[in-house]
Structure formats: C-alpha cells, structure tokens
Amino acid sequence: MRILMVEDEPKLSAFVKRGLTAERYAVDTLADGVSGLEYAETYPYDLIIMDLMLPAMSGEDLLQRVRRRNSCVPVLVLTAKDAVQEKVKLFDLGADDYLTKPFAFAELLVRVKALLRRGPVNRSSTLRVGDLELDRLTQQVKRGTKRIELTAKEYALLEYLMQNADRVLSRNMIIEHVWDQSFDGITNIVDVYVGHLRTKVDEGCTTKMIRTIRGTGYMIRTGAET
Amino acid sequence: MNIRSLRFRITAWSISFLALALGVFSIAVYLGVQQFLTLSMQRNLRNMSSNVETVFLSEYGKRGEKWAVGEINEAFSGGDDRYVRILHNGREIFRSDDMHNPPVIIDTIPLPNSGFTGITRMPQISGGILQFTDQYEAPDGRHFTVITGASQATMQRVLRSLAWVLVAICPIVLLFAAVAEFLLIRGPLRPVLMLTQRTEHIGRDHLGERLPVPETGDELQRLAIALNRMIERLEDALAHNHRFSADASHELRTPLTIIRGELEQAIQEPGLSSTVVDAIGSALEEIDRMSQIVQSLMATAYLDSGGEQMERKPIDIGHLTGSTIEQMRLLAEERNITLITEQLEPLIVEADPTRLKQVIVNLVDNAMKYNQPGGMVTVSTCAQGNNALLRIADNGIGIPAASIPCIFDRFYRADKARTRATGGIGIGLAIVKAICNAHQAEIRVHSIEGQGSVFEVSLPLCE
C-alpha cells in the first residue's frame, strides 16, 4: 500500500512516516502543495494524508485538484482548526476523513486502516479476542463459558475496543465513538467506564485483556505479555 | 421617580436657583416698597409742616393766634391718621384731633426735646408713628415748633399684604416652573437615554455595531463620537485577544502533535527500562492535558468571537439534561456522589445541542469534583418567565466569596492545591461561560463556602 503524505512540518511527517513504515506501508513525504499535486497526479497512491496549511498551494486547493483528477483515492486531512463549519467544508471539498491536531499516532493509524479497507470491513456478527466473545446480533458477551452482563455503554465500549483489538485507542477516539464531543477533555468518564468494564471482563481471570497504555489510552489484546 | 436621574437633578438645581432668585427678588421688592412708602410719608409730613409755616404761621403776628389756629384747624383738623401740633414759646397753641385710624390719643405722644429738628420714629405706639419736628422762625421773629406726624399702620398693612402676596406667589411659581421644566427637559435628554440603551445593547454582544451620531453639533454628538471610538478600541482589543488565543492554540498544535508522536513511538521501543517507560508515559499524560488546554482555548476563542456559524435548532433542554445525567451516573457512583434530577420540565430552547450538553456536563462534573464523598448534586430544569432555567446545585465545598467573580476566567482556580488533585485545567467554566454568551444565555452562581454552590443557566425559551 502506497501512501502520500503532504505536510510542511518535517518532524511531523517524519514520525508519521516512521510509524506507517513500521506498519509496512510505503510512504512518500512532500513538504508543499505544488509538488504534492505533482506526485499525486503521477503515482497511483492508495491514500493521501495532507495538511491544510501548506506553502505554494493551500491544502484546500490541493484537495480540489486531486479530486478533479482522481476521484477515488481516499484523502485524510490533518487540520489545526476544529470548528464545525471547517469540517463540513472539508467534506464538501472531498475529504474522506479528518484528524484534528494534536492527534495520537494510534488514532491516525486507525483512520488510515479504516480508509484503506473501505468496503470489506469486518462486519461479521461475532467479534472474538482470545476467549472473549461478543455477539453483535444478540448483544451477548461471553468470556469462556461465563456470560458477562453489560450496560449499553459498556457494551458499546467493549465492541469498539474489540473491533480494534491489538490497537491502542486514545481517550479522545473512545469518547468520539462511544459518547460525543460534549464529554471531551473535561471528565474522566472513559477511565471510569473502562474500570467498570475491566472488573466485569477480567475479574477472576489470569490473563488481563484490557490494558492501559499510559499517556495514550486503552487496548484490548489476548494477553500473554504484560 | 429616580431622584438620582439627571433629569431630576437638573430640575432640582435650577428650581433651587430660581427659589433663591425669587427670594432675593421678593426681599428687594419688600424693602424697596417700604423705603418708598416711608420716604413719601416723610415728604408729606415736611410739606404739611411747611404749609402750616408759610401759609399760616407767617401771618401769626399780623392776624393773631385765634385766626391762625382757626385756619390751621380748618386745613388740618386731623382725626384720621395724621396730626399736627404747634408749640409757641413752649406752649401748645394747636393740636389736631386724636387719630382714630388706628385710635391714638395725641396727648400720649411724647413731645420732642426743645430745639430738635428732624424725624422721630416711634414704633412702640400702636402701628408705629412717624413724626417730623421743625423749628420755624416767622419773619417777625416769633418762634414756633411745628410737629407733624402720621400713623404708619396703613403702610404696615400694605407691606404685610405685599409680603403675603410674595410668600404665596413664590411657591406657586416654583411649582409650575418645576413641573414645566421636568416635562420639558425630557426632550433634550431623550437622546441621552437612547444613547445609553444603544451603548448597553452594543456593549453586551454587538461590538461590531456603532452608535448613531446625531448631526447636531452639540455635546451629545461629541459623546456619541467618543463612545464610538471607545467601542472601536474595545472591539480591537477583544478581537486581538481572541486572535491571540486562536493563533497561540493553533500554533501549539503542530509541535504538540510532533512531541506526542515521537514519544508514542519511543515508548514502543523494545527493551526500555520501566523508569523510562514511566517517564515517557508521564510526559504523554501531560501532553494530553496540554492538548486539552489548547483545544479548550480554541473553543473559547471561537465562541467568544461570536460563534456565528454555531448550529442552532430547537431542542428540549429537559430531555437533554435527563439523558446527559443518565450518562454521568457512573461518574457520580465512582465518586460516591448522589446525583439527583429533581424536576425536568420539557422546555424548548434554540441551541447547539452539543454545546448545550457540554454546559450540562461541565457544570455537573464541576459540582461532583468540588464535593466530598457522600455529597449530593441536584439538577433541575424549569420555566421562569420567558426563560428556561437549568439549575445545578451541590452541597460541596463551595466557592469563597472573593473568588466568585473570577471563576469564569480562563485558568482561574479558587483553590490551586485542591484542584490540581482533581485534574482540572481551570477552563471548564470559561467554556461554559463562552457557550452561554454565544447563546445569549445568562449564567449565575450563588455559593456559600463550606455549604455548596448553585449554578443557574437561564436560556431564552423558543416561541
């Protein structure tokens, strides 16, 4: 999978490139809009990640031009503005997703993967991580043979974690998916719910599946390493 | 009537001056009339005296005393309010009849000392007597003392009536003047009133507007121009402030992203010692907090600048509050706080649902944060006039009275040590305030330290 990254901040594109390369993506990084457009028109990229404020050609212009030429490449926009109307405008211009700075790399990765697999999304009715099983049809959760009773929010949280098993999810991502922006930043609602979920899922089991990644967020994984 | 209003004060002052002027005028009139009457009376007495002397007494020697007295008696029989007495060599040769207006027996009036010439006042005798004494030397060398006198009672009566008229008229004039001025001054003051209302309107949240400048060339025009300049400077300063917050938070976003990204990758490096992992984890937590601050700053800057593009639609604040509270129950349980919804009247307001929800979340979260385990938070919505009232009360630690005016400021914390532990960043209430402002909602807080706080948000109801 080949990804084009247009971002004028070299350090930012450097760590994104490093991270994405580690995930086995091929990444080209460019620092301005004009050369970005050149590359986008020349090579068949699977995904374009771009900043909105670029030298030589603004991100908006670049986005519009890319869309005019090649209408199907997914575009993820990195933006420092987060006003609602900015986002609406971005979608109007043809962006597929956006990410507000500052973001966690995990979040970028989740979004990149989501954009790249558009279509064949894992929609199977049962999610499985280790011996933990979640049935989307009956909304039942089992660990081994033991049934786990969850509230609606806990269920939504677990489903989101399991959908992204083995991947770190930031509090911000969890809030956006399970709650809404109103809870953003102010409360520790995520920690409280994860705490509750953890006692229900991991209590009495030797392998603790829900893990806290300090400073980043939470992740569910089979266990083994600590 | 507002006794401190300019209108009242201008009227009061000018009426006071008018009263003073009228007083001075009245006294002057009174004294003038008194002076005039006294002088004319003196002139009369002198005339009378010289008549007696030149017409009759000069003939005394030639025609004899009997003739003179008879003639004088005919001319000045007296009896009314004046009298004549003539002494010749110390003997009284003529005395007119006693006065009866007012009744005065002439004999009781003391005679002047011999040789005295001039005016004598005798205010002690009923009504007051003015007396003129003249020494007359007839052409034949005979010496007479001519005494003419008159009662001042009539004059006093005239003066008394004049005084009464003045005393009665002044208050009436003053009352009329006061009423008339109070009514008339409304005209010239009306532009001031309008200017005040417009300034208030602009000052609230329409800094982009300006006052209408009347082309009158008067003080009001200058005032309007001066106020407009001030509004402009205010607008500039606020805009600068907003731009600064927006720019600063905007500029901070990229470096924060980079630091976070680098650290996130660093922490995944295999073989790191637990101390290093801990240190990076701690740094990542702080970056999280900084990101929140930056995000909140951006949000308040956006809202403060008017939040024009904010989504607004009719929503039921009662229902929104209820559902938000349900989502926060677990948070309350975790902190061992009883979260109660008292009365949730379904009320329709026009608002941005996400922002309004943020107000509820922040205020309830705050009420729980600044509380003790076992505490209580009570939430209700009810109608109050044309407003929907959202009320969030707690029995927590309360806010010191001195801090109340500052709690809506960015980064303000009433108790630095305590809030650090709760993990707040001191911007939650600033956001609440900014959202309220953008919704034309009013937020009030009542608090007693040690007993708890009540936050009330008052939003205009949808028609």
pLDDT at A226: 44
Q: Are residues B153 and B226 in the same domain?
A: no
Residue A153 has pLDDT above 90, yes or no: no
- Does any domain span residue B210? no
Integer Cα distance of B179 and B185 in angstroms: 10
Q: Are residues B293 and B339 in the same domain?
A: no
- Does any domain span residue B181? no
Residue B425 has pLDDT above 80, yes or no: no
- Cβ-proximal residues to B436 (8 Å cutoff; 6+ apart), any chain: B359, B442, B443, B457
Name which of A15, A81, A100 is nearest B261 (Cβ-Cβ). A15
Q: Are residues B331 and B248 in the same domain?
A: no
What does CATH list as the number for A2-117?
A: 3.40.50.2300
Pairing outcome for strands A217-220 and A210-213: antiparallel
Cβ separation A216–B284 shorter than 8 A: yes
B141-151 pLDDT per residue, tens: 888 899 999 88
Residue A82 has pLDDT above 70, yes or no: no
Q: Are residues B245 and B331 in the same domain?
A: no
Contacts of B284 in chain A (CB under 8 A): 214-216
Q: Is the pTM of this model over 0.90?
A: no
B241 to chain A, any CB pair closer than 8 A? The answer is no
pLDDT at B304: 72
Which domain-ending residue is among B140, B158, B176? B158
- Does any domain span residue B94? yes
Which domain-ending residue is among B304, B333, B356? B304
Question: How many domains would you assign to chain B?
Answer: 3
Substitution target from A81, A110, A171, A183 for chain B, most B beta carbons within 10 A: A183
Contacts of B296 in chain A (CB under 8 A): 185
Q: Cα A194 to chain center, whole Å?
A: 19
Phi (first) and psi of residue B218, to 5 degrees: -100, -170
Q: Are residues B287 and B366 in the same domain?
A: no
- How many Å lie between the alpha carbon of B401 and the closest alpha carbon of chain A? 25
Which domain, by its residues, includes B60?
6-158
Nearest CA in chain A to B329: A189
- The domain spanning residue B318 has which CATH number? 3.30.565.10
- The domain limits of chain A are 2-117, 126-220
- Helix and strand numbers, DSSP H then E, in chain B: 10, 14
Average predicted confidence (pLDDT) for chain B: 85
Q: Are residues B10 and B151 in the same domain?
A: yes
* CB-facing half-sphere around the CA of B367: CA atoms within 13 A: 31
B327-384 pLDDT per residue, tens: 888 888 888 899 998 888 889 999 988 889 889 998 998 898 888 888 999 999 999 8
- Does any domain span residue B180? no
Q: Are residues B349 and B243 in the same domain?
A: no
- Cβ-proximal residues to A2 (8 Å cutoff; 6+ apart), any chain: A25, A26, A27, A28, A43, A44, A45, A46, A47
Q: Are residues B151 and B81 in the same domain?
A: yes
Residues of chain B above pLDDT 90, percent: 24
Q: Are residues B385 and B456 in the same domain?
A: yes
DSSP conformation letters of A177-214: HHS-GGGTTT--HHHHHHHHHHHHHHTT-SS--EEEET
- Does any domain span residue B187? no
A111-121 pLDDT per residue, tens: 898 888 754 45
B160-206 pLDDT per residue, tens: 999 999 999 989 999 999 999 888 888 878 888 888 888 888 876 67
- Cβ-proximal residues to A93 (8 Å cutoff; 6+ apart), any chain: A60, A63, A64, A67
Name which of B261, B357, B360 is nearest A105 (Cβ-Cβ). B261
Substitution target from B245, B249, B252, B257 for chain A, most A beta carbons within 10 A: B257
B82-104 pLDDT per residue, tens: 888 998 888 888 888 888 878 88
pLDDT at B26: 93
- Does any domain span residue B80? yes
- How many Å lie between the alpha carbon of A163 and the closest alpha carbon of chain B? 22
Q: Are residues B10 and B153 in the same domain?
A: yes
Integer Cα distance of B431 and B435 in angstroms: 6
Cβ separation A215–B287 shorter than 8 A: yes
Q: Which residues 321-380 in chain B show a CB within 8 A of chain A?
A: 324, 327-328, 330-331, 334, 354-355, 357-358, 360-362, 365
B159 or A121, which is more confident?
B159
User: What is the mean predicted confidence (pLDDT) over B214-235?
Assistant: 87
Q: Which residues 251-290 in chain B show a CB within 8 A of chain A?
A: 253-254, 256-258, 260-265, 267, 277-278, 280-285, 287-288
- The domain spanning residue B70 has which CATH number? 3.30.450.20
Residue B297 has pLDDT above 50, yes or no: yes
* Lowest pLDDT segment from A14-28, A45-59, B37-51, B78-92: B78-92
Contacts of A214 in chain B (CB under 8 A): 267, 277-278, 281-282, 284-285
Which domain-ending residue is among B279, B304, B329? B304
Alpha helices in B52-152 (DSSP H): 60-75
- Does any domain span residue B207? no
- The domain spanning residue B242 has which CATH number? 1.10.287.130
Q: Are residues B124 and B248 in the same domain?
A: no
Please calculate the CA angle A64-A69-A74 and round it to the nearest 5 degrees. Answer: 70
Residue A24 has pLDDT above 90, yes or no: no
- How many Å lie between the alpha carbon of A101 and the closest alpha carbon of chain B? 5
Q: What share of chain B is helix, strand, coil (3-state, %, to 5)?
A: 55, 20, 25
- How many Å lie between the alpha carbon of B358 and the closest alpha carbon of chain A? 4
ipTM surpasses cut 0.95 = no
Contacts of A83 in chain B (CB under 8 A): 302, 309
Name which of A9, A185, A214 is nearest B295 (Cβ-Cβ). A185
* Lowest pLDDT segment from A82-86, B36-40, B245-249: A82-86
Average predicted confidence (pLDDT) for chain A: 83
Nearest CA in chain B to A153: B327
Contacts of A187 in chain B (CB under 8 A): 328, 331, 361, 365
Integer Cα distance of A52 and A38 in angstroms: 17
Residue B32 has pLDDT above 50, yes or no: yes
- Does any domain span residue B173? no
Exposure b/e, B4-18, CB count within 10 A at least 16 = b: eeebeeebeeebeeb
- CATH class of the domain comprising A126-220: mainly alpha
Find out whether A20 and A27 touch, Cβ atoms under 8 Å.
yes
Phi (first) and psi of residue B172, to 5 degrees: -65, -45
Q: Are residues B11 and B151 in the same domain?
A: yes
